Structure 1
Amino acid sequence: MGRNGLRFLFFTLAILMMTQPGAIAFANFDAPYGFYKDLSTWLSAYLGGAVILMLYALLKRKELGIKLLSLYGLHYAVLFVVVYFLKLKAIKSINPSFSIENAPFLTFLSFQLSILLFPPAIFSPPHYPHDVPLLLVQLSIWVASFYVFLRLGELEERKFSISSAFSKLSRCSHEGC
């Protein structure tokens, strides 16, 4: 994967990392409805932020390529359907009027609330035992994003060392080293 693809992957992981603590705090705000409610709220918040990433990808479509854009669009559509059915499973008894028409609006609302609740939620431990698997997922996302960040650093360092070598060669050929 190239530098632009790794950067896009890093942004995707960053949205996942930033939305999880606030989304779980938001999901557990009124009552603990369980793992599915927390998971669906987090993924819904991610989908709200992923629209921003999709706009970024459309702006960088030449560098990212149509294949990555297609995969990301497919990923978004499948995850949207999964989140919708998770929400139905989690809150159908609470809110029987929840429908597919509400889902797009709720993804943006969940994203905004999760970002607003990110600072206080990052410093509070999970309150319920069903949040522990999501905490483990969060830690694995941190590790994956750190790895991607290191790979990006290696590619940037290599780019600078190659470009500096070419500039030295061109300077040398002009000056007659």
Structure 2
Amino acid sequence: MSFTYHVLNKQRFSSGNHSIVPIRMEDRYVIREWRNEQMFHLRQSKLLSEEDQDNYFNTIVKNLFSQEQPDQILFSYLENDECIGYGGLVHINWIDKNAEISFLMKTDIKGKNYESHMIKFMSLIDEVAYKTLDFHKLFTYAFDVRPEIYQILEKSGFRKEATLKEHCHFNGKFIDVIIHSKFKSY
């Protein structure tokens, strides 16, 4: 079963053998596995069951497709049509034309492969946000537990905008949140 976003006039954004497509129901369980394996850097407080994931997709995700201004637009990130990640625009502010970027990869993708995939995903999401939706700004909100992603964000045109000191309580201590942003340049 595949869905299309009413708000988008184009549903598939591609570069070579990589693409993003509206999040697919068939990918929900692998996404659940990755989220459970990588909770250390997500805003997720408990392990997700298959029932939790089904409920989220059936009550939240399905409704996004028909909305004129959904609060999130999620994609499956594909390599040769196999899902190896997911993400999209979340916490969308349609008045101010900005959104947070969310991105999660298959857990075993690390190092240079992770970097190249994240850069590829960011360029595809740029096309959605800036060319298709005419947004003004994109930003990331990251727990300061993976400093290696900051260089990747900077290679994708993002600049550090703020550090929210001891902003989140995480694993028994308060940690910083780092915000990077990128403005429309064309």
User: Normalising by structure 1, what TM-score?
Assistant: 0.28
Name the structure with the higher strand share: 2
Larger Rg: 1
Name the structure with the higher helix share: 1
